[in-house]
Amino acid sequence: MKPRLQTSLGQHLVLTPQLRQALHLLQLSSVELDTEISAAVESNPLLDWEEPEPISAQPLSERCSAQAPDNRQDHDDSGRDGDSGLAAAWDGDDGWSGHSGGGGSGHGDDDGDAAYRMIQSESLQDHLFWQLHLSTMSARDRNIGIALIDAIDDDGYLRESLDDIVAALLPETRATSDEVAAVLCRVQRFDPLGVGARDLGECLRLQLEPLHIDAPGRAVALRAARDYIERLPKLGAPGLADALGCPVEEAATALQLLRSLDPRPGAQVGNVPHDNYVTPDCVIARQNGVWKVALAGSHFPRVTIHRGYEQMIQHAVASDAGYLKGRLQEARWLLKNIEARGETLLKVVRCLVRQQSGFLEFGKRALRPLTLREVAEEIGMHESTVSRAVARKYVHTPRGTLSLKDFFDSGVGTEGGGEASSTAIQQMIRSLVDAENPRKPLSDARLAELLKAAGVPVARRTVAKYREALHIVSSHERVRIA
């Protein structure tokens, strides 16, 4: 068979510097984004701050349409609750301007303005536990997942052996190494990619596997990460090509791809500087009976290309022109990725508003079960991308400033065939305890009976877990004589 050349057309996902920057910007909070952009403006002469436009006395819908991105989606079915077209604006000085009532009954359920509330630092374990909580798995597998996450260090590596995890689960849970390995595979799919790896080679392979099968350098990079990870610094592209029997060009592409990966994925979460105060990234309001969503315009960084330097490129000498062109390309990438971050946030928040309109209107009792996978499937994105978009992001709502994570919750099956969120069940327990006779408080077993009568069958042990999460003491400690 004679060798021949053949061309083909296809789409490939490669972790380019531009894509890495887009993912990095997506996971930043609004305050961190401001800091990142300020540093870019100082270091890149082709970037400049955009002069703020004077606020005019326009109607709310017109002002919002001026702030909203060009790719916004307008809906004709404005009467549908949960529609999330862009028709709300955020005034940095006065808060909401001109938004109508109706559905804003949550003013009484004030969680406090989180813009003036210190936020909790989120560790890597917290981030992984949150994803585990939203995953669909049995209670046994969840216990194994908790043990695995506890054993993951700040860099994202699992430093303990599977046998040690098996021993740590005893006596409550008896599991085999194969069962622990199966749950580990689930944890290794969590964000950030590469977490839960037992060595550097596995960490890199976990980041390579989601790439398209035909991505340039992927196949060679997987083999290199599996068999030659320790020798790569000495081998180089020629040595790797000889070892794998592939062309030097393919080996060089694979090495470049490997260098673009993160050898310490856990540091993306645990070591990211946290804000002292919460600044909302988006705003949600209800107008004419319809929930509306928009980016928080006053906090959205306004940067642009410096036109003076851009025009200088045409008249500069070759050496200066080359430098300016490179910085111009970097500036364009940054602006494009900032816009992409806003678009992704809007997609995610729109989906959350559609799914959790009851939560916005009636509070935690109406929170429905919702997972990262459901949101990812609805908006056509990867779960890890949704996780990055949600991390450390806040929205201003009629119920106060809320974390996007507040819109997610796991579920418990009901007798009617549906599901009730764990947060809603906790609110039901809180209401029952608040209304109980202080001389004869409700036991966990009695609470379980009352919940079952309400159509939510929950085991006594689950009630005890939810009660402890609410910091409610046991029934014999709640007895009051007077």
- Could you tell me the CATH number of the domain that includes residue 464? 1.10.10.60
* pLDDT over 90 percentage in the chain: 18
Across 19-23, average pLDDT: 81
The answer to whether residues 184 and 242 belong to one domain is yes
**Bridge partners for 412 per DSSP:** 420
Backbone angles phi and psi of 345, in degrees to 5: -60, -45
**pLDDT score recorded for residue 277:** 65
The answer to whether residues 260 and 371 belong to one domain is no
Domain's final residue, options 268, 293, 309: 268
Q: Tell me: the pLDDT tens digits for 263-309? A: 988 887 755 444 456 788 899 998 888 899 998 865 455 888 888 87
Across 151-171, average pLDDT: 88
For residue 62, pLDDT beyond 50: no
Rounded to whole angstroms, the Cα distance separating 336 from 68 reads 15
Instruction: Kindly indicate the confidence band of residue 99, based on its pLDDT and cuts at 50, 70 and 90.
Output: very low
The answer to whether residues 373 and 440 belong to one domain is no
For residue 44, pLDDT beyond 50: yes
Tokens 């260090």 sit on residue: 153
- Average pLDDT of every residue of the chain: 77
Q: Is residue 44 part of a domain?
A: no
Tokens 């045409």 sit on residue: 314
**Domain count for the chain:** 3
Across 242-262, average pLDDT: 91
Answer with the residue of higher pLDDT: 61 or 79: 61
For residue 316, pLDDT beyond 90: no
Helix axes 17-27, 318-355, angle to 10 degrees: 40
The answer to whether residues 74 and 147 belong to one domain is no
**pLDDT score recorded for residue 92:** 40
**pLDDT score recorded for residue 124:** 86
Q: Is residue 354 part of a domain?
A: yes
**pLDDT score recorded for residue 184:** 94
Quick check: 399 and 103 in contact, CB under 8 A?
no
Say if residue 208 is exposed, middle or buried (CB neighbours under 10 Å; 0-12, 13-18, 19+).
buried
Q: Is residue 312 part of a domain?
A: no
The answer to whether residues 287 and 376 belong to one domain is yes
Q: Is residue 348 part of a domain?
A: yes
**pLDDT score recorded for residue 231:** 86
The answer to whether residues 455 and 382 belong to one domain is no
Q: Is residue 367 part of a domain?
A: yes
The answer to whether residues 128 and 261 belong to one domain is yes
Rounded to whole angstroms, the Cα distance separating 432 from 451 reads 9
Instruction: Kindly indicate the confidence band of residue 201, based on its pLDDT and cuts at 50, 70 and 90.
Output: very high
Answer with the residue of higher pLDDT: 109 or 305: 305
Within 8 A by CB and 6+ apart from 175, the residues are 140, 144, 166, 169
Rounded to whole angstroms, the Cα distance separating 428 from 407 reads 18
**pLDDT score recorded for residue 369:** 83
Task: For residue 276, give the 3-state DSSP assignment.
Answer: coil
For residue 158, pLDDT beyond 60: yes
**pLDDT score recorded for residue 232:** 85
Answer with the residue of higher pLDDT: 400 or 86: 400
Q: Is residue 45 part of a domain?
A: no
The answer to whether residues 254 and 132 belong to one domain is yes
Rounded to whole angstroms, the Cα distance separating 431 from 425 reads 10
Domain's final residue, options 268, 290, 325: 268
Report the b/e string of 125-153 with b at 16+ CB within 10 A: bebbbbbbebbeeeeebbbbbbbbbebbe
Q: Is residue 18 part of a domain?
A: no
For residue 482, pLDDT beyond 60: no
Answer with the residue of higher pLDDT: 480 or 393: 393
Across 306-316, average pLDDT: 77
Q: Is residue 383 part of a domain?
A: yes
The answer to whether residues 248 and 209 belong to one domain is yes
For residue 86, pLDDT beyond 50: no
Instruction: Kindly indicate the confidence band of residue 448, based on its pLDDT and cuts at 50, 70 and 90.
Output: confident
Q: How many CB atoms lie within 10 A of CB 368?
A: 18
List the single range of 1-5, 93-97, 234-238, 364-368 with lowest mean pLDDT. Answer: 93-97
The answer to whether residues 190 and 235 belong to one domain is yes
Domain's final residue, options 405, 429, 463: 405
Instruction: Kindly indicate the confidence band of residue 421, based on its pLDDT and cuts at 50, 70 and 90.
Output: low
The answer to whether residues 439 and 393 belong to one domain is no
Answer with the residue of higher pLDDT: 278 or 245: 245
Across 189-211, average pLDDT: 91
The answer to whether residues 192 and 104 belong to one domain is no
Q: Domain span at residue 465?
A: 411-477
Quick check: 335 and 107 in contact, CB under 8 A?
no
